[in-house]
Structure 1
């Protein structure tokens, strides 16, 4: 009996290991020097990042010598749908500020890939290397204003992000190093029909997003709208400014949901000027189908600093971290 339990545990462990073998936990999907795209235009150099679903590679455009990023996911049923959805969103946002340019989309063996503009670090990684693991209020305000603009552009096209968080916001490179880009649209959803009308609201929705940053409405499995992306931004800014969220150590999702409903603004943002409290108040007035006043939210952010200088260097560039 004891041996059977041991074997069962071993088999369960092996099964779990197999289930985990995707994204950053999986062997490399692409080998160095792999050629991708029409006329073998893009040459893979190395893997530079991995997430829960896919892997990111650095590659070179052999015609222009430009560095590009290649996002790769297995062509399994669920993962392939994420990639198809992401490519559709990026195609619609092509050439739009705050969204990476896409150069090629296609299959390779048992994977699907997107070749896109190479970006810099994400906000989550940047925060972790800063002193005290938090950003200055001035930098967070500038970033927040840009993300509000990005969400406005995305929502105008009828799309929701549904997984906005620090690691899904990247900065550009070189002359674009102060510009924020939204990434990872594998959980996006259309909330508006082609004729401009709103899609019918579902009575119950499967969870989409990340529990730490999602709105309290999503915990209740309610249909998301533009307001929910703004709630994700609100919690993202809290983590950037304060270095943590009050529920970061809560293991229970239900406990986390309750905390979001009862914890007051000044406990989430103890360091922010009192003027920022109106961001919370205005969010709470919005309903699922409400069209947010994006300029108002930008103005609330701007009111928290004396002057918004978009050309100033961020502190991490000055510190060289």
Structure 2
């Protein structure tokens, strides 16, 4: 068992590797390529080995939550879930950094939407994103994990180099939590637990600092649904968390018509149903997906249409790669202490 480090040790030893450096995993050595994305705790590099295009996600040893990510991906891979990367390998270097090697993805949905005209997806792309992201959430819950940080920045299309560009993947599980005990019984809510997630997409329960369940992931998805189909959320420019909470409450009452203006009628019904769920309820994923598929059918939208970001130049230019290292949730540093210090390669599932 690797012992926990002191603060001085963390300062002296923590580091991230650089492009061109070789890191050694269980199965192979990996030469780190271009930086795809970075954040306060880590970096994602491209890597090609034996003709396979991969991403290597690296985090500083003392701050790493990759053991959580590895647990989620292991559970997803065992179930052969469609919307999750394959975890190829993992490892660590002394007490400097920890890494996992996984499937390469494209740009995340937040970045892709920002690049569109008027920062808005077409209804075709938006509805198909909504369906696939909810399918991913359903799969995650079937693997017995909560995300607790559903947002567009944690989803991305697969990479064209791997012929997965029509599938939306979920990634970044730094705040994920298994919601059942060792006997697969649901954990009871713990009362007030502090903030989890991202302010723009957090559920009303999250704003109340209460324990989150499956319904809260789906409520966060609903805000994603409105944003990717309508183009924006009313509180997009609001930074005060209490003000955002109040805006979300008004969106259910006096501002509801404006909030859902231009949206298909089923959006109103889906919101009503989500708000009716209790902590213990299983969300009606299939019911929501069926409703969105009916909208696609009515609008003549085919599920295999090009995404908005797939113009001729993007189809030819396959060297652009993802920022799979989207920033951790706003308050993640408050919860780093939950990490069992010293989880290195031997602790990666």
Fold shared by both chains (TM-score > 0.5): yes
Residue 151 of structure 1 pairs with residue 137 of structure 2 = yes
**Match 2:302 to one of 309, 315, 318:** 309
Q: How many residues align?
A: 292
Q: Which residue of 2 aligns with 1:17?
A: none
Query: Which of these residues, 154, 161, 166, is aligned with residue 168 of structure 1?
Result: 154
Q: Report if the CA contact (8 A) 1:138-1:308 is conserved.
A: yes
Which residue number in structure 2 is paired with residue 70 of structure 1? 56
1:88 aligns with 2:68: no
Q: Name the CA distance, whole Å, in 1 between partners of 2:171 and 2:29.
A: 23
Distance 1:316 1:102 in 2: 26
Q: RCO greater where, 1 or 2, for CA within 8 Å and sep 6 or more?
A: 2
SS of the counterpart of 1:59? strand
How far the C-alpha of 1:36 sits from its partner, in A, is: 2.7
Question: What is the match of residue 130 of structure 1?
Answer: 116
Q: CA deviation at 1:169?
A: 0.3
Which residue of structure 2 lines up, in the alignment, with residue 187 of structure 1? 175
SS in 1 for 2:288: helix
Answer yes or no: is the 8 Å Cα contact 2:16–2:60 preserved in 1.
no
Match of 2:82 among 97, 109, 121: 97
Aligned pair partner of 2:103 in 96, 105, 117: 117
In structure 2, distance between residues paired with 1:36 and 1:279: 47
Give structure 2 stretches of 5+ with no counterpart: 1-10, 315-349
Q: Which residue number corresponds to residue 106 of structure 1?
A: 91
One of 272, 284, 290 as aligned partner of 1:281: 272
Q: Deviations over 1:278-303 (max 9, x none)?
A: 11111011111110121101012223
Q: Comparing both structures, which one devotes a greater share of its residues to helix? A: 1
CA positional deviation for 1:168: 0.3
- 1:51 aligns with one of 15, 39, 62: 39
Q: What is the alpha-carbon distance in structure 2 between the residues aligned to residue 216 and residue 149 of structure 1?
A: 22
Contact 2:59 2:98 in 1 (8 A): yes
Write out the 4+ residue segments of structure 1 that deviate beyond 4 Å after TM superposition.
none
In 1, are the aligned partners of 2:26 and 2:91 still within 8 Å (CA)?
A: no
Q: Per-residue deviation at 1:227?
A: 0.8
| CA 1:268–1:36: 2 relative to 1, 3 Å | farther
Q: Which residue, out of 214, 222, 244, partners 2:202?
A: 214
1:300 corresponds to which residue?
291
Contact 2:69-2:172 at 8 Å conserved across structures: yes
1:308 Cα offset (Å) = 4.6
1:240 partnered with 2:228:
yes
**TM-score normalized by the length of structure 1:** 0.85
Q: CA deviation at 1:250?
A: 1.6
State the Cα RMSD in Å. 2.0
Q: Does the CA-based 8 Å contact 1:137-1:272 persist in structure 2? A: no
| Contact 1:272 1:304 (8 Å CA) reproduced | no
